[in-house]
Structure formats: structure tokens, C-alpha cells
Amino acid sequence: MRMQTQEASRERRGGSQGKLNTLLQTRTETLTLFSQLVGIRPFNPDQELHLLLQEFCETLVDYTASAHFQLYRFLEDGSERRGNIKNFSASVYPRISDSTQLILDFNEKYESEDRCKDFSSLDDDLSKLGEALADRIQMEDQIIAALSVSR
């Protein structure tokens, strides 16, 4: 019986590690595109900016979805049994949800060349988004560190 419990525990950790890897990969892609976007200041409303913004928005939404489906859902569905991780996750989740809303608002505003014609607030919007991403990543890293510690 103890052997089955240990095996089940290893399988859960292996599954969670794969989910964390997916999250980290999409996060890295997002940060790379964020850096590229910030690097082309001043923002001229040309085809290059539209294409980069569209790619960034797609990757940003993928990263956000990955975090929710790969990390937070895993914590919410009861797969994680360590109380300290569940409690910490519950305490930071409202702040992560706030950043998700900011991400969705940014995406709504800039995802489409048809809808986005005004870039006058892009610099400020990227600044706010960058701060929110930094806070979110810090919280995610704390959750990931806690998950990575063996039982």
C-alpha cells in the first residue's frame, strides 16, 4: 500500500512538472516579445508595430491561459494536497486575477490592427502591463518553488 502511495505521489509530481514547464515556456516567449516591443520605441503606427503587437497579444493570452490551466487549475482541482501550498496559492490568487484582467484589457485594446489605430497610450499601457507581469511572475515563482519542494 505504501508503495502505491509513493508511486501515485511521483506521478502527480511528474504531471505537475510538465505543467510547470509549459507555463515557463509560454512565459519566456511572452517576456521575449515584450522586450522586443518595448525596444522599438518610439511607437510608429506601421505594419511592423501592428504585427509585433498582434504576436505579443497572442503569446500574452497563451501565457495567461497556460498559467490558469497548467498551474492554478491543478491547485484548485484538489491534485495538490499540501496545505501550505494551497493556502499560499489562495492568498495570492486574487492579485493574479487582477493581473489577468489587466492582460485581457491590454489584449482587447491592441490585439487587432482593425480596432487599434491610436498608440498614444501604448507606452503607458506597456509600463502598467510590465509592472503587473513582474508582480505576477514573482507570485508564480513562489508557487512553483513551493510545488518543487518534495514532500
- How many domains does the structure of the chain reveal? 1
Which pLDDT belongs to residue 77?
65
- In this structure, which long-range contacts are made by residues 139-142, counting pairs with CB atoms below 8 Å and at least 24 apart in sequence? 139/92, 139/95, 139/96, 140/23, 140/27, 140/67, 140/71, 140/96, 142/88, 142/92
Domain span including residue 73: 2-148
Read off the CATH number of the domain in which 83 is found.
Answer: 1.20.120.1370
Residue at grid coordinates 511521483 = 10
**Structure pTM?**
0.80
Predicted confidence (pLDDT) at residue 150 exceeds the cutoff of 80: no
Residue 122 banded pLDDT, cuts 50, 70, 90? very high
Instruction: Say how far apart CA 99 and CA 11 lie, in whole Å.
Output: 31
Among 91, 73, 90, which Cα is nearest to 20's? 73
Can you read off the three cell numbers belonging to residue 2? 505504501
Predicted confidence (pLDDT) at residue 8 exceeds the cutoff of 50: no
Which pLDDT belongs to residue 16?
59
Residue 90 banded pLDDT, cuts 50, 70, 90? confident
Which pLDDT belongs to residue 126?
97
Q: Which residues neighbour 117 within 8 Å (Cβ) at sequence distance 6 or greater? A: 45
